[in-house]
Amino acid sequence: MARRVLSVHRHDPTGALIPAIRWPVLALQAAFLVSFVACNDAPPVPGDQLLIEKRSVPDSCPRAVKEGDFVRYHYHGTFTDGTKFDSSYDRGASNNVFVGKGQIIAGMDKALIGMCVNERRFVKIPPSLAYGSQGLSGVVPPDSVLHFDVLLLDIWNSEDSVQVETYYKPENCSRTVQVSDFIRYHYNGTLMDGTLFDSSHNRMRTYDTYVGIGWLIPGMDNGLLGMCVGEKRIITVPPFLAYGEDGDGKDIPSQASLVFDVVLLDLHNPKDRITVDSLNVPENCERKTQVGDYIRYHYNGTLLDGTLFDSSYSRNQTYNTYIGKGYVIVGMDEGLLGVCIGEKRRVTIPPHLGYGEEGRGKIPGSAVLVFDIHVIDFHNPNDSVSIISLFKPSNCLEQSKKGDYVKYHYNATLMDGTLLDSTHQYGKTYNIVLGSGQVVMGMDIGLRDMCVGEKRTVVIPPHLGYGEDGVEGEVPGSAVLVFDIELLELVPGLPEGYMFIWNGNVSPNLFEEIDKDKNGEVLLEEFSDYIYTQVEVGKGKLAPGFDATKIIENMFRNQDRNQDGKITEEEFKLKDQEDKERHDEL
Ligand SMILES: [Ca+2]
Ligand SMILES: [Ca+2]
């Protein structure tokens, strides 16, 4: 059919050959296809041979032109004397044809066969395979030998589909891209000859898109499927699955194959919830977090590609928050539920449960977040002290109570085992009066109702410990404390409120007894000597655990009504009629 039509043109006496076609080289090839076929069986005529000289061949040639392929190529056409008659470079557009289909002069149709992209050939085409004895009106004189310098830019075939070549695949690939996933990736987009037309790397931001639902050119919608995060692949897309005939109007020419070098950074589906992977769960886990608990944990926050965006370790401070109250992103509020103290888990959070399309700080928009968390401790604001008895002596006559002077050993740690303090390292007990505010409330509670010799573990929530502030350099804020204690000695205290009591009846001549030098005045020294003597001989008793000197000074000042440094009998007597409820008096 084509031949018949072209034969007509060949014999057209006007020489006006296929005027509708713009470019001469495009125009008349077919005419000489006929000529070529006609001469096919004739012996070769000198100067009538097609000569092909390979000027440069690329190292890699994955594909060579064969008949039926579509090619894009540049050429520079000259006569034998070097005069240029045509050049695709001058037009700023490649020549685009199906090879071997008679769309170009026969010599060129043959010369392109076997070429690789980026291969350059120098071709001498005899008139019998070009414009013959007629030439091309106004452009090619009759019987012209034509020289072409040809550079191949692109090959594809209408039977092609997307080609995917994975050149890096990470070891761990638990999930691959599926239709309707949302992904973030980087790419370099080149034409087949290596010309870069676009790069997300140059823009310094990922390309973020849904896959497989028509947001992308068909070739990419298909070529990205099945990828793992971290995978790198080359996706080669023929033009009919890319920008086709029109190109993109800017950097992608008509009928161009596209080569995308892609690395996948992020992947999720809008239907995803968080994913929790337990990395380490302690054997003893009597309690797990629930809504309303206050938790302290360490974390490393990374993107799916491993980029670290935040770490509590770098701040050397745990992250502390209430759980399930909206103080943290939704995904983390969920991910912190049901953990044990000491547990390590990985929480993977899709962006709609994280920082969304906007991102924040170092977190890009639409990023999946991976938190490796380590739970240091948690408590509930309603928690009281938890007491675990480790050993209780069988004969326990007396249990500790408020006012008692107790001597005990302790080992204090955080929930993760970090040692805070230990009396064992000092080689002596810690001694306090219960209920006197000498230790944190939780410790005071934990030491009650204890027998000498008893051993306990006391767990103290921060509101009964060192609170939100902790102790700088020693106890972190909001820390749960663990005390292993052993009660070694217990000195019963005086009845509540008393700092000194008589064991028996009070002497009726008390003032005279105290006023040793009988001058009618009691000085502090006389008073002090007297009290100490009473304690020594067992007639009186001072509250244990306090500074005796201070107790006695207080007692003295209370008697010395006018504060002149001495107690007169009158002052002393006055006391008798006084409020019996005042206990630190005689
Ligand atoms: Ca005196
Ligand atoms: Ca006085």
Encode pLDDT of 420-469 as tens digits.
999 999 999 999 999 989 999 999 999 999 999 999 999 999 999 999 99
Active-site annotation, residues: 299, 309-310, 329, 355, 371
CA of 522 to the centre of ligand 2 (A): 9
Provide the residue ranges of all domains of the chain, joining segments of one domain with +. 2-156, 163-268, 289-376, 386-491, 500-576
The CATH classification number of 2-156 equals 3.10.50.40
State the average pLDDT over residues 16-43: 39
Which amino acid makes up residue 80? T
Encode pLDDT of 355-376 as tens digits.
999 999 999 999 999 999 999 9
In whole angstroms, give the CA distance from residue 511 to residue 93.
124
**Closest ligand by atom to 520 CA:** 1
pLDDT of residue 575: 54
For the beta carbon of residue 197, count every other beta carbon within 10 angstroms: 17
In the beta sheet, which residues pair with residue 363? 360
State the average pLDDT over residues 250-270: 96
Residue 345 structure tokens: 């888990």
DSSP notation for 198-258: EEHHHHTS-EEEESSSSSS-HHHHHHTTTPBTT-EEEEEE-GGGTTGGGTTSSSS-TT--E
Per-state percent for the chain, helix, strand, coil, to nearest 5: 20, 30, 50
Whose CA is closest to 29, among 156, 154, 132, 139?
132
Encode pLDDT of 188-222 as tens digits.
999 999 999 999 999 999 999 999 999 999 999 99
- CATH C-level class of 163-268: alpha beta
Encode pLDDT of 500-533 as tens digits.
988 888 888 889 999 999 999 999 999 999 999 9
Whose CA is closest to 6, among 43, 34, 25?
34
CA of 506 to the centre of ligand 2 (A): 22
In whole angstroms, give the CA distance from residue 394 to residue 300.
49
| DSSP H or E segment with residue 88 | helix 88-91
In whole angstroms, give the CA distance from residue 448 to residue 434.
8
Give the list of residues 6+ apart from residue 182 with CB closer than 8 angstroms, or none. 208, 209, 210, 211, 267, 268, 269, 270, 351, 366
CA of 582 to the centre of ligand 1 (A): 25
More confident residue, 479 or 25: 479
CA of 535 to the centre of ligand 2 (A): 24
pLDDT of residue 30: 38
CA of 433 to the centre of ligand 2 (A): 32
In whole angstroms, give the CA distance from residue 456 to residue 488.
12
Whose CA is closest to 348, among 464, 282, 269?
269
**Closest ligand by atom to 515 CA:** 1
**Closest ligand by atom to 569 CA:** 2
**Closest ligand by atom to 558 CA:** 2
Residue 338 structure tokens: 């049901």
CA of 546 to the centre of ligand 1 (A): 27
Is residue 474 scored above 50 in pLDDT? yes
In whole angstroms, give the CA distance from residue 343 to residue 416.
10
Can you state the angle between helices 524-536 and 548-559, rounded to 10 degrees? 130
Which amino acid makes up residue 122? F
pLDDT of residue 34: 36
pLDDT of residue 578: 54
For the beta carbon of residue 386, count every other beta carbon within 10 angstroms: 17
Give the list of residues 6+ apart from residue 525 with CB closer than 8 angstroms, or none. none
**Residue carrying structure tokens 């992904």:** 183
pLDDT of residue 496: 80
Sign of CA dihedral 305, 309, 313, 319: negative
CA of 531 to the centre of ligand 2 (A): 18
pLDDT of residue 22: 39
More confident residue, 255 or 286: 255
CA of 518 to the centre of ligand 1 (A): 5
Average pLDDT, the chain: 89
CA of 560 to the centre of ligand 1 (A): 13
pLDDT of residue 192: 95
For the beta carbon of residue 382, count every other beta carbon within 10 angstroms: 9
- The distance from CA 359 to its chain's CA centroid, rounded to whole angstroms, is 12
Confidence of residue 572 (pLDDT cuts 50, 70, 90): confident
Q: 2-156 and 500-576: same fold?
A: no
Contact 151, 57 (CB under 8 A): no
Confidence of residue 43 (pLDDT cuts 50, 70, 90): very low
Confidence of residue 14 (pLDDT cuts 50, 70, 90): very low
For the beta carbon of residue 47, count every other beta carbon within 10 angstroms: 12
Sign of CA dihedral 266, 267, 272, 275: negative
Encode pLDDT of 76-94 as tens digits.
999 999 999 999 999 999 9
In whole angstroms, give the CA distance from residue 150 to residue 139.
19
CA of 556 to the centre of ligand 2 (A): 10
Angle at 29 between CA 26 and CA 33, to 5 degrees: 155
The fourth-level CATH superfamily of domain 500-576 is EF-hand (1.10.238.10)
Whose CA is closest to 414, among 387, 378, 438, 384?
378
CA of 567 to the centre of ligand 2 (A): 4
Which amino acid makes up residue 376? I
**HSE-CB for 129 with a 13 A CA cutoff:** 23
CA of 561 to the centre of ligand 2 (A): 6
Is residue 33 scored above 50 in pLDDT? no
Burial class (CB in 10 A: 0-12, 13-18, 19+), 339: buried
CA of 524 to the centre of ligand 2 (A): 11
pLDDT of residue 577: 53
Give the list of residues 6+ apart from residue 354 with CB closer than 8 angstroms, or none. 329, 330, 331, 363, 367, 368, 369
pLDDT of residue 188: 97
In whole angstroms, give the CA distance from residue 105 to residue 3.
13
In whole angstroms, give the CA distance from residue 144 to residue 132.
7
Whose CA is closest to 412, among 463, 451, 456?
456
Candidates 3.10.50.40, 3.30.460.10, 3.40.1350.10, 3.30.1360.120; CATH matching 386-491 = 3.10.50.40
More confident residue, 578 or 267: 267
**Closest ligand by atom to 514 CA:** 1
DSSP notation for 381-409: TT---EEEEEE--S-------TT-EEEEE
What letter would DSSP give residue 169? -
CA of 561 to the centre of ligand 1 (A): 16
DSSP notation for 11-54: T-TT----TTSS-HHHHHHHHHHHHHHHTTTSPPPTT-S-EEEE
Contact 77, 136 (CB under 8 A): no
Is residue 3 scored above 60 in pLDDT? no
> pTM of the full predicted structure?
0.72
Contact 116, 58 (CB under 8 A): yes
Is residue 18 scored above 80 in pLDDT? no
Candidates 1.10.10.10, 3.10.50.40, 3.30.930.10, 2.10.240.10; CATH matching 289-376 = 3.10.50.40
**Closest ligand by atom to 565 CA:** 2
Q: Which residues of 457-496 are buried (b: 16+ CB within 10 A; e: fewer)?
A: ebbbbbbbbbeeebeeeebbbbbbbbbbbbbbebeebbee
**Closest ligand by atom to 567 CA:** 2
pLDDT of residue 585: 53
**Closest ligand by atom to 557 CA:** 2
